[in-house]
Amino acid sequence: MKYVQTTCPYCGTGCSFNLVVDKGIVTGVAPYQRSPVNEGKLCPKGTYAHEFINNPDRLKKPLIKKDGKFVEASWDEALKLVAEKFKSYKPDECACLASARVSNEDNYAMMKFARGVLKTKHIDHCARLCHASTVAGLANIFGSGAMTNSIGDIAESKCVFIIGSNTFECHPLIGRRVMQAKAKGAKVIYADPRYTPTGKQADLYLQFRSGTDVALLNGMMQEIIRNGWENKEFIQNRCNGFDELKKEVMKDDYSLENVSKITGVPADKIKTAAEWFAKSGASAILYSMGITQHTTGVDNVKSCGNLQMLTGNLGRPGTGVNALRGQNNVQGACDMGCLPVVYTAYQKVIDEAAQKKFADGWKFPDGIAKGENGYEVTTLMNVLTEKPGEIKCLYIMGENPMISDPDLTHVEHALKTLDFLVVQDIFLNETAEFADVVLPAACYAEKDGTQTSTERRVQMWRKAQNPPGEAKGDWEIIASIAAKMGYGAQFPWKTSEDVFNEMASLTPSYAGMTYERLNRPEALHWPCPTTDHPGTPILHTEKFGMPDGKGLMTGIPFKWPQEVPDSEYPFVLTTGRSIWQWHTGTMTRRSASLEREEPTGWVEINTEDAKKLGIADKEKVKAKTRRGEITIPARVTPDIMPGVVFIPFHYAECAANVLTINALDPIAKIPESKACAVKIEKIAEAK
Ligand SMILES: Nc1nc2c(c(=O)[nH]1)N[C@H]1C(S)=C(S)[C@@H](COP(=O)(O)OP(=O)(O)OC[C@H]3O[C@@H](n4cnc5c(=O)[nH]c(N)nc54)[C@H](O)[C@@H]3O)O[C@H]1N2
Ligand SMILES: Nc1nc2c(c(=O)[nH]1)N[C@H]1C(S)=C(S)[C@@H](COP(=O)(O)OP(=O)(O)OC[C@H]3O[C@@H](n4cnc5c(=O)[nH]c(N)nc54)[C@H](O)[C@@H]3O)O[C@H]1N2
Ligand code: SF4
Ligand SMILES: [Mo]
């Protein structure tokens, strides 16, 4: 028996644990006490992170679709077919989806493959559905799109304002830091349409209507300015745009009375929230999908930034705009340039110097993709249905859009227009059903690599067992396809460390990192530009990453979601997560200990609303939108705001995304997964 220390494959908190290995097979998880992130503690997903690894459903051999059926193939046959097909398309007829579930090395390889081998400008991944608003919004006002403070630092806060984050279910080990702050006397304010387990620990709960965040935040800011609670010195020395912000938020639209009408929060609660937040001395904002997944996602993010600049809560312990990144390596997949506009470390593809740097660094004899922005995954799905034939070929690594993208009927149409689809995954997921070739990948426990957590901490995965059957590491698969296409020289790597070192040489914020330096409990936070640099746990301590070093305040007018309730579809539908399940369920639904807890989906509906519709708890009902309908058990509860219903999106048999709207934020192109109009119907009893 041995212990192999590694980091969790689920959320962006980045907890560490030991994998217990018995006779070469992973059999359990044991605590690793020395991690400064989780100090040996784990949430249920971490505790059972071994259970899916050796599930019999793991993909073990490549599959090729022949006459509509998958048949097992040798690697040689599969690679040959993929290479031939890939070579037959023009560069921009191909698109690649990278993955927030795989390592930095795997993502870097995919980015290089897309831009260097396929020479396509179209590469993106699920960050689009997640924190695209954060990346765009925070970069615009602070010059960097990442979480500003560290996780441990949250425990130093005097007032934690959680808005649109169900921290205790989705980032449980960050939730622990909130409780530590509370134990030291911090006030916790929670804004969410649902009175979640997170909300139940708060000192002040603001129950509000989905999609009214900007109104709520502007209302708080008006109250702060009217009472003179703003941090004048911080605004004067470190920010631009105060007059513009003030002009907007002081409008009568954002008086306590009006904001109360729009949001549904009683005026006195908004006032108390504003006062606690402005006067605490160190106030932190924690946010996640409740803020970002809106057609106003970028506006919502900038409003959080506005509140922090107005009150001077940036660049110090216990403060900050803490965008909690979701997937284990979504921060890393973005850092690795798996976005349609940047190379690694956000070096813009339209910047000629960056374009030259990568072309020179990679040495493809026939050049690399043009320095133009490509399609976001959400735009890509629209192009597939609206301009069939423009994109013919899609290579998806570690994503499951047939459950996770909005409006699944639309996604299905889109995927069916493709001439050639390759899916590389650890399980045969719902998307793979549409594939021409499926490639079996090794999971986190079967490979070395690094991943970057929400606090920009770059930590290691360490191989604990061999992959099942003939499955291989993701970057190795990518490199073998490249070799078959004649680009072996550009993918010469023997180990993950080789990939990392090449990446670091082209990536300023990772340039000072090596496997040797990362191989310690605290690892390193980027930016870490040189090998003697200690890393950077807190951003913006003295100046922002803007050209003049100042943060940018902006006036943000409130806008309603694209689709609001009417007499036909009278409820707001919002969607999200449960502590027991992970996204499309490929891993958690194959973990017996997790699946047992919440084995199917539900629609949460307020007790009063349910009474009016004659619906009882656990009764199966129909949920219908303009996109589609599902049958799903009701969960009748006083904890959700009247007029709002909630469905978790984990379950294929009652998939929330059959219902959701494919409406996008104009800048971030993130879908409005958190608000559309829905009707709930009692199913007529059979006579
Ligand atoms: N157990 C578990 N943990 C996870 C994940 C998982 O699948 N399962 N996924 C990970 C990923 S990728 C991500 S991105 C994070 C997401 O983490 P969270 O954002 O915390 O999770 P969600 O459940 O999507 O949404 C959070 C809350 O937003 C509320 N909400 C809905 N509409 C609105 C609104 O209009 N405004 C506001 N302010 N709030 C609203 C919902 O009621 C919900 O309680 O979780 C990560 N952690
Ligand atoms: N309605 C609604 N929809 C949403 C959201 C919402 O709140 N509401 N949230 C959105 C958000 S924030 C996110 S992040 C997305 C997530 O959307 P996805 O990323 O599509 O969801 P996952 O289930 O995490 O899919 C990841 C895939 O990676 C595979 N995988 C795991 N490990 C590996 C590996 O090592 N190698 C390879 N090759 N594959 C691997 C898994 O088996 C799975 O098929 O969903 C989005 N969709
Ligand atoms: S909090 Fe996140 S990283 Fe930590 S054990 Fe749970 S899922 Fe894993
Ligand atoms: Mo996410």
pLDDT tens by residue, 295-324? 999 999 999 999 999 999 999 999 999 999
Q: Please write the tens of the pLDDT for every residue from 339-380.
A: 999 999 999 999 999 999 999 999 999 999 999 999 999 999
Mean pLDDT of the chain: 97
Residue range(s) occupied by CATH 2.40.40.20 in the chain? 571-682
- 């997949």: which residue's tokens? 333
- Is residue 239 exposed (0-12), middle (13-18) or buried (19+ Cβ within 10 Å)? buried
Domain with CATH 2.20.25.90 in the chain: 2-47
Candidate of 10, 11, 322 to mutate for ligand 1, largest count of ligand atoms within 8 Å of Cβ: 11
pLDDT in tens, 28-65: 999 999 999 999 999 999 999 999 999 999 999 999 99
Beta bridge partners of 647: 575
User: CB-based burial of residue 356 (10 Å sphere; 0-12 exposed, 13-18 middle, 19+ buried)?
Assistant: exposed
Residue 145 Cβ contacting ligand 1 at under 6 Å: no
Q: Which residue's CA is minimally distant from atom 26 of ligand 2? A: 399
How far does residue 125's CA lie from ligand 2's centre (Å)? 9
Residues ≥6 apart with Cβ < 8 Å to 13: 37, 38, 151, 171, 172, 173, 174, 453, 454
Cβ(399) – ligand 2 distance below 6 Å: yes
Strand spans (E) along 261-331: 283-287, 321-323
Enumerate the CATH 3.40.50.740 domain ranges in the chain, comma separated.
63-129+328-457+466-507
Given a cut of 70, whether residue 686 has pLDDT beyond it is no
**Ligand 1 atom 14, closest CA:** 326
Burial of residue 33 (CB within 10 Å: 0-12, 13-18, 19+) is: exposed
Ligand 2 atom closest to the Cα of residue 125 is 19
674 CA: nearest ligand 1 atom: 32
CA–centroid distance, 408 to ligand 2, in Å, is: 14
The reply to whether ligand 1 has any atom less than 6 angstroms from the CB of 288 is: yes
The residue assigned the tokens 């806008």 is 559
DSSP single-letter state for residue 664 = B
The residue whose CA is least distant from atom 5 of ligand 3 is 46
For residues 660-672, average pLDDT: 97
- AA identity, residue 521: P
Determine if ligand 1 sits within 6 Å of the CB of residue 401: no
Please list the residue range(s) of the chain that carry CATH number 3.40.228.10: 132-323
Please state which CATH number belongs to domain 132-323.
3.40.228.10
pLDDT of residue 685: 73
Q: Round to whole Å and give the CA distance between 3 and 37.
A: 19
Predicted confidence at residue 155, as pLDDT, reads 97
Q: How far is the CA of 187 from the centre of ligand 4 (A)?
A: 27
pTM across the whole model: 0.97
Rounded to 5 degrees, φ, ψ at 680 are: -115, 125
Measured between alpha carbons, how far is residue 420 from residues 93, 435, 622 in Å? 11, 7, 36
The CATH code belonging to domain 571-682 is 2.40.40.20
Residue nearest to atom 44 of ligand 1 (CA): 166
Question: Which of 601, 612, 561 has the alpha carbon at shortest distance from 193?
Answer: 561
Residues whose CB is less than 8 angstroms from the CB of residue 621 and which lie 6 or more positions away in sequence, other chains included: 603, 613, 615, 631, 632, 633, 634, 680, 681, 682, 683
Q: What is the mean pLDDT of residues 642-651?
A: 98
User: How far apart are the CA of 288 and the centre of ligand 2, in A?
Assistant: 16
Q: Where are the beta strands (DSSP E) in 195-238?
A: 204-206
Ligand nearest to the CA of 41: 3
pLDDT score for 146: 84
CA distances from 126 to 48, 275, 401, 476, 510 (A): 24, 37, 9, 22, 22
- In this predicted model, what pLDDT tens digit does every residue of 443-486 receive, in sequence order? 999 999 999 999 999 999 999 999 999 999 999 999 999 999 99
b (16+ CB within 10 A) / e for 310-349: bbbbbbbbbbbbbbbbbbbbbbbbbbbbbbbbbbbbbbeb
User: What pLDDT sits at residue 153?
Assistant: 94
Q: How far is the CA of 114 from the centre of ligand 2 (A)?
A: 20
What's the rounded Cα separation, in Å, for the pair 635 and 647? 10
CA 216 / ligand 3 centre spacing (Å): 30
Q: Which of 608, 615, 680, 614 is nearest to 647 (CA)?
A: 680
- Distance (Å, whole) CA 7 – CA 519: 12
Element containing residue 620 per DSSP (H, E) = strand 620-624
Distance in Å, CA 129 to ligand 2 centroid: 10
Q: What is the CATH number of domain 2-47?
A: 2.20.25.90
DSSP-assigned letter for residue 339: B
Please tell me whether the peptide bond between 340 and the residue prior to it is cis, using omega within 30 degrees of 0: no
Calculate how far, in angstroms, residue 665's C-alpha sits from the geometric centre of ligand 2. 20
Q: What are phi and psi of 480, to 5 degrees?
A: -70, -35
Please tell me the distance between residue 10's alpha carbon and the centre of ligand 2 in angstroms.
Answer: 10
- CA distances from residue 562 to 210, 500, 571, 645, 674 in whole angstroms, order as listed: 12, 42, 14, 17, 11
In angstroms, the first-to-last Cα distance of the chain is: 61
Q: The domain at 63-129+328-457+466-507 falls in which architecture?
A: 3-Layer(aba) Sandwich (3.40)
The percent of residues above 90 in pLDDT, for the chain, comes to 98
Q: φ, ψ for residue 563 (rounded to 5)?
A: -115, 120
155-179 per-position pLDDT tens digit:
999 999 999 999 999 999 999 999 9
Residues of 92-116 as b/e, b for ≥16 C-beta within 10 angstroms? bbbbbbbbbbbbbbbbbbbbbbbbb
Encoded tokens for 601: 């989906």
From CA 218, how far away is CA 220, in angstroms rounded?
Answer: 5
113 lines ligand 2 (CB under 6 A): no
In sequence order, which ranges of 485-569 are alpha helices (DSSP H)?
A: 496-505, 515-518
Look up residue 68 and give its two tokens. Answer: 């509509």
Q: What pLDDT does residue 126 have? A: 96
- The full 3-state SS of 356-396, as one line of letters, equals HHHHHHHCCCCCCCCCCCCCCHHHHHHHHHHCCCCCCEEEE
Cα distance between residue 109 and residue 545, in whole Å: 28
Q: Which two tokens stand for residue 355?
A: 């374009």
pLDDT range class, residue 687, cuts 50, 70, 90: low
The residue nearest atom 18 of ligand 1, judged by CA position, is 165
642 contacts 609 by C-beta, under 8 angstroms? yes
Pocket test for ligand 3, best of 17, 35, 41, 42 (most atoms within 8 A of CB): 42
Q: Is the CB of 260 under 6 A from ligand 3?
A: no
324: Cβ below 6 Å to ligand 3? no
The count of C-alpha atoms lying within 13 angstroms of the C-alpha of 305, restricted to the half-sphere facing its C-beta, is 38
β-pair type (283-287, 159-163): parallel
**Quick one: average pLDDT of 593-616?**
98
Position 37 scores a pLDDT of 96
Measure 380 CA to ligand 1 centroid, in angstroms.
Answer: 24
Q: What is the DSSP string of 5-21?
A: EEE-SSBTT--EEEEEE
